[in-house]
Amino acid sequence: MTVSTITQLQDRVLAALEACGVPTPDGSGELLTRSPLTGEALVPLTRTTLAEAEDAVARAHEAFLEWRDVPAPERGRVVKRWGELLTEHKRDLAILVQAEAGKSMSEAEGEVQEMIDICDFAVGQSRMLYGKTMPSERPGHRLMETWHPLGVVGVISAFNFPVAVYSWNTALALVCGDTVVWKPSEMCALSALGAHQLLARAVAESGAPEDIHQLVLAGRDVGAILVEDPRVALVSATGSTRMGREIGPQVAQRFGRCLLELGGNNAAIVTPSADLDLALRGIVFAAAGTAGQRCTTMRRLIVHESVVDTLTERLVAAYRTLTIGDPRDESVLVGPLINEGSYRAMVDAIEAAVAQGGEVLVGGNRVLAAEMPDAYYMEPTIIRMPTQSEVVREETFAPILYVMTYSDLDEAITLHNDVPQGLSSAIFTTDQAEAEIFLSGAGSDCGIANVNIGTSGAEIGGAFGGEKETGGGRESGSDSWQTYMRRATNTINYSGQLPLAQGVKFL
């Protein structure tokens, strides 16, 4: 890596920030963003102080008192404009995502497309915040439910999807009448600035209250304000199970709401009837894409003993063709791990797997260390495991795929479900009965269960989230909007009489 390479990256980032409308950073500040592409510092930024964060919550709360009374279709116009601006600046924001998260441009642009898609979804949802009318047992009465804005929503997002998952929450929260305070990952502050500035422009152009969206750039100390402040009605947090164990009880103690998207240890079952060509493509992308740093990354592969040798041979051959390096080169498929900590965790997991009886079939080596000593590029790794040992049951946020075998489907499903996490899952089969069993209550215990596709690549229309130690949250599509609202049951008496329910007599 040369000085010119570093300079080119910084220039590209500054140009993208300017295009999104972010004022040029003055070069001072203690929040120092670094790029996993090179390991070098990008742009120093000013950290949000505790007092500023508390003020952000206060301003969001005041704005909520006005925003909640704006008709929902009018609120949708802000999100519609945001989506238009995201479309216009898709490449600019993707450049920031690539620089901070280390993704290929295809994946970075795909992430921004998710933002555009959720804006489209939310605009439609702004006219469909439906309640139900139920039959009353009393004559001359109407029984119904209505949905109302909840309050301030605190969004704590992770580095691996620095803008997409945040937008799932924000687009829906805004059309539901909530305001948002966002604490992004410290590692992706520039992407956050770009997304925030585009939303701020949409707010201004739509004539909405300017404080409906707040951005705070800092670490756990500022995140704690969102967790502890009773004015924050909902905390939506994406991260590790450890983080969820800390946040959940604190929010519950003050009777706030939590939406948790935590760890994933996702698996696919490959049956004897599977189309192996299809399975091969689905497995490689799900296991190696984004350098294994998706919450839906495939980490376990449970293959029938009759096809395991054939499939693993083909997987090993495919892995050997994967191009690894700086994803600014469009021929590169696998980029870097986010930092040294992720690299150490991957190395430790590989060593533990071998100690627990595993055999490394391919990968496991660091590459490009001489050219870029502060960046961490690793070969995606396949390890054949005799059993689902301790290391296999843990989530390692890196491109490691553990391969195990089974003899009958019941055994495969038991093995599949025998982990603490419950996010995403898949089965590759051409047998309809196997597919139906996998999707039934006796099958996968995950929030996402797929047939003949991999574990990653969720669409906006479906609710996203998982069970068990994944936290139970649901974001994005389907009826996820209800998370951001409060429900009221209403009884209207137009009878002129006052009969009591259940036939109770009084007076």
- Give the residue numbers marked as catalytic: 261
* Spatial CA neighbour of 403 closest among 291, 273, 289, 284: 284
CB 182 within 8 A of CB 214: yes
State both tokens at 39. Answer: 């390991």
Reduced to 3 states (helix: H, G, I; strand: E, B; else coil), residue 462 is: coil
State both tokens at 503. Answer: 């036939």
Report the distance separating Cα 36 and Cα 406, nearest Å. Answer: 38
* Spatial CA neighbour of 190 closest among 215, 155, 225: 215
Q: Could you identify the residue written with the tokens 């006005």?
A: 66
Q: What is the 3-state secondary structure (H, E, C) of 364-415?
A: CCEECCCCCCCCEEECCEEEECCCCCCCCCCCCCCCEEEEEEECCHHHHHHH
> CA quadruple 185, 187, 193, 198: dihedral positive or negative?
negative
Report the distance separating Cα 12 and Cα 488, nearest Å. Answer: 50
CB 297 within 8 A of CB 286: yes
